[in-house]
């Protein structure tokens, strides 16, 4: 299972790393890949994860959660 998140504010590899780290700290997240160029993160899940936790992780990293896309 995976979710794609549109994120604004990332501009470099450091930004991508911060988003990845925050998302991967959530139980149930197997991996996360963030792309500043594409303005998104793709999150692979091992179980259902509350969308609010994913949103909060993006905000905690310092970036703007826009929406979930499929």
Three-state SS at 42:
strand
Q: 38: which DSSP letter? A: T
Task: Print the domain residue range for 23.
Answer: 2-69
- 70 pLDDT above the threshold of 90: no
State residue 5's pLDDT score.
98
CA 12 to CA 31: how far, in whole Å? Answer: 19
Nearest to 68 by CA among 57, 17, 60: 57
What is the number of structural domains in the chain? Answer: 1
CA 48 to CA 27: how far, in whole Å? Answer: 10
CATH code of the domain containing 31: 3.30.70.100
State residue 65's pLDDT score.
98
Kindly report, residue by residue over 7-60, the tens digit of the pLDDT.
999 999 999 999 999 999 999 999 999 999 999 999 999 999 999 999 999 999
């Amino acid at each position: 299972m995976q979710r794609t998140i549109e994120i604004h504010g990332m501009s470099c590899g450091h930004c991508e790393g911060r988003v990845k780290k925050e998302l991967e700290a959530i139980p149930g997240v197997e991996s996360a890949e963030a792309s500043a160029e594409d303005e998104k993160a793709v999150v692979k899940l091992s179980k259902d994860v509350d969308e609010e936790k994913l949103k909060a992780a993006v905000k905690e990293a310092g970036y703007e959660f826009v929406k979930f896309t499929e």
